[in-house]
Amino acid sequence: MGTNPSSPIPPPRPSFVIGDRAFTILLGLGGLAVFALIVGIGVSLAKGAGEAHDTFGPGFVTGRVWDPVHETYGALPFIYGTLMSTLLALVLAVPVGLGTAIFLAEIAPRALGQAVAFLVELLAAVPSVVLGMWGIFVLVPLVRKLEEFVIPRWGHLPVFSGAPTGLGLLTAAIILAIMILPFITSIARDSILAVPRTQGEAAFALGATHWETIRGPLLRFARKGIIGGVVLATGRALGETMAVTMVIGNCPIISASLFESSYTMSALIANEFAEATEALHRASLINIALILLGVTVAVNALARLLIWSTVRHAGGEGH
């Protein structure tokens, strides 16, 4: 029996309307809860760091001395160590991760690509303390040999100065690069696989080579997801604690050398908070945590702005 196409559409039943509204409200509350959680963490940290704010003011961020004995605290060496180790890790991991993702998605045979992708994702499940131990027993001796080769020849350059200990920024950056590599590779691979096949087929039809197709439409359409993976990896690198603590040397100095020891904010909190008996010491450590939270939020906000700008200039294309 046919229906009259001109007959009016019946209004939704009241139970459906109520259910839709309840579902919308529930989702809105969930989004507000996440925002409230972040704000609550920031407020509680700011409250706990009140004594450090009152004592040092803005000089806490620019101070270079961390001396619990004389109750002098400055965060700059730890901010520098955190940002530099993260930046170096990204420099090492992004090209390798993106290259691996392209190989797995576009070049490798299907069976091999799935097997390697599984191993890459499995790497993300390795506990950081295990990677830290591997770093101490395997990576540190290898970096020490590299330093023993480089320092006598180019040690006069600031970037290669220091003693050949094997502990320092370079070792920490390599460990961090290994830890964030699965995030970059997996998300970039999924983003490339999500690009419509018609984009590649159209490029081939116009006479483009395989490399030109990958470099052109595939990466252009997948770049939003690739940048998102880099953002996620950056957040992981900024907050990583145990593995970095074990190989970075834990010395609060600011040096241009890749071979010098350094210190990160998360490593400082892990090393000293349990033994912080003085109120000002505890407040200073909480202030470090507040700065780390601020740096993480700022980096993610800048990355989101970069994604928005990229998509906007591309006319909204991409996934």
Question: Which position has the higher pLDDT, 71 or 209?
Answer: 71
Torsion of CA 309, 311, 316, 319, to 10 degrees: -150
Distance of CA 217 to the CA centre of its chain: 26
Mean pLDDT over residues 1-12, rounded?
Answer: 57
Which stretch of 10-24, 136-150, 198-212 has the lowest confidence by average pLDDT?
10-24
Whole-number Å distance between alpha carbons of 268 and 259:
19
Q: What pLDDT, on the 0 to 100 scale, is given for residue 12?
A: 59
pLDDT at 9 over 80: no
Query: Which helix or strand (DSSP H or E) is residue 94 part of?
Result: helix 76-102
pLDDT at 160 over 90: yes
Confidence of residue 310 (pLDDT cuts 50, 70, 90): low
pLDDT at 219 over 70: yes
For the ranges 55-59, 172-176, 239-243, the maximum mean pLDDT occurs at 172-176
Whole-number Å distance between alpha carbons of 269 and 267:
5
Task: Tell me which amino acid residue 172 is.
Answer: A
Q: What domains are there in the chain, each with its CATH number?
A: 22-313 (1.10.3720.10)
Half-sphere exposure of 262 toward its Cβ, with a 13 Å CA cutoff? 29
Contact (Cβ atoms closer than 8 angstroms) between residue 83 and residue 294: no
Mean pLDDT over residues 51-59, rounded?
Answer: 91
Query: Which helix or strand (DSSP H or E) is residue 106 part of?
Result: none
Q: Which residue has the tokens 């006069």?
A: 156
Q: What pLDDT, on the 0 to 100 scale, is given for residue 11?
A: 62
Q: What pLDDT, on the 0 to 100 scale, is given for residue 23?
A: 83
pLDDT at 6 over 90: no
Mean pLDDT over residues 92-110, rounded?
Answer: 91
pLDDT at 54 over 80: yes
pLDDT at 14 over 60: yes
pLDDT at 166 over 80: yes
Q: How far, CA to CA in Å, does 275 sit from each of 186, 269, 289?
A: 39, 10, 16
Mean pLDDT over residues 199-213, rounded?
Answer: 80
pLDDT at 201 over 80: no
Whole-number Å distance between alpha carbons of 110 and 150:
42
pLDDT at 161 over 80: yes
What are the backbone angles phi and psi of residue 189, rounded to the nearest 5°? -60, -45
pTM of the model: 0.85
Token pair recorded at residue 37:
């959680």
Whole-number Å distance between alpha carbons of 282 and 54:
14
pLDDT at 318 over 50: no
Which stretch of 154-158, 223-227, 266-270 has the lowest confidence by average pLDDT?
223-227
Q: What pLDDT, on the 0 to 100 scale, is given for residue 317?
A: 47
